[in-house]
Structure 1
Amino acid sequence: MKVRDILRVKGGTLYTVSPDETLARAVETMAQFDIGSLAVMEHGELVGMLTFREVIGAIARNGGTVGDTTVRSIMDDHPMTCTPETELDQVRPMMLERHTRYMPVMDNRMLMGVISFYDVAKAVVEMQSFENKMLKAYIRDWPEEEAAEPRPDDPAQPAAAR
């Protein structure tokens, strides 16, 4: 399974923010749409990612408030990315290695979407469930072997049966 398969199921909605936007406005957007990340776009290009991890860190540093912080000052300006053609088996270790929950999907320099660790886990569970169903159906339909006629020279047969 490839990342494009996840994007196809998710749809094309992208939530973005400008790097010069206030953190307060970005947090409002995240809360309004119940999302954990925003792609940070400038001049039509991805320049970073803002996730709840960066938001929580900024709030902790500011004594419990967002203050006048801008998105640019706390965003991850070098987010790990993948392409629509990246295999899910490659994405999972990448996300685990960098402790990344959200990954932008790029086709050259164009942002195609953002996948989350939840999206990846869901796709894997669905894929494994499908494989399980197929294996169970295969086993259930396993052809019965015909009972083999004992051979007269078979040493496993008792002497009286020979």
Structure 2
Amino acid sequence: MKVSDILRVKGGTLYTVSPDERLEIAVQTMAQYDIGSLAVMEHGELVGMLTFRELIETLADNGGQLGNRTVRSVMDDHPMTCTPETELEQVRPMMLEKHTRYMPVMESRMLMGVISFYDVAKAVVDSQNFENKMLKAYIRDWPEEEAAQDPQPR
């Protein structure tokens, strides 16, 4: 399974923010849409990611206050990325190793979407459930002639 399969299921909604936006506005956007990250875009290009991790660190470092900080001052300006053609078997260890919960999906220099660790886990579980269902159907529909040729267990 590829990252493009996750993007196809997820749909095309992308939540972005400008690096010069106040953190307070970014937090309101994240709360409004119940999302854990915003892609930070400047002049049509991805320049970073803002996730709840950066927000919590900022709050912890500043006595629970965001102040007048901008997104640029706290964003991850070198987020790990993948492409739509990246296999999920490659993405899972990358996300686990770096404790990454959100990963931008890039094609050339264009942002195609953002996948979350939840999206990856759900895709894996759905795939395993489908495979399990197919195996059970195959066993249930086992041809009788093959079954008759197999010796009975003693």
User: What is the TM-score with the length of structure 1 in the denominator?
Assistant: 0.89
Instruction: Give how far 1:127 is off.
Output: 0.2
Instruction: Give how far 1:78 is off.
Output: 0.3
CA distance in 2, matches of 1:89, 1:12: 23
In the other structure, the counterpart of 1:61 is: 61
Residues 6 and 147 (structure 1 numbering): CA distance in 2 closer, same or farther, change over 3 Å? Answer: closer
> Cα RMSD (Å) of the superposition?
1.0
Q: How many residues align?
A: 148
Instruction: Give how far 1:143 is off.
Output: 2.0
In the other structure, the counterpart of 2:73 is: 73
Residues 99 and 147 (structure 1 numbering): CA distance in 2 closer, same or farther, change over 3 Å? Answer: closer
Q: Which amino acid aligns with 1:103?
A: M
Question: For 1:60-115, what per-residue CA distance to the aligned partner results, in whole angstroms no more than 9, with x for missing partners?
Answer: 11111110111001000000000000001110000000000000000000000000
Asked if 1:46 corresponds to 2:49, the answer is no
Partner SS state of residue 146, structure 1: helix
Q: Which amino acid aligns with 2:148?
A: E
Asked if 1:10 corresponds to 2:15, the answer is no
Larger Rg: 1
In the other structure, the counterpart of 2:132 is: 132
CA distance in 2, matches of 1:28, 1:61: 20
Asked if 1:120 corresponds to 2:120, the answer is yes
CA distance in 1, matches of 2:149, 2:125: 39
Partner SS state of residue 26, structure 1: helix
Q: Which amino acid aligns with 1:34?
A: D
CA distance in 2, matches of 1:116, 1:64: 26
User: What is the TM-score with the length of structure 2 in the denominator?
Assistant: 0.94
CA distance in 1, matches of 2:93, 2:149: 49
Runs of 4+ in structure 1 deviating by more than 4 angstroms, as ranges, are: none
Question: For 1:31-69, what per-residue CA distance to the aligned partner results, in whole angstroms no more than 9, with x for missing partners?
Answer: 000000000000000000000000000011111111011
In the other structure, the counterpart of 2:148 is: 146
Deviates most, 138-147 or 26-35: 138-147
CA distance in 1, matches of 2:59, 2:68: 11
Q: Which amino acid aligns with 1:51?
A: T
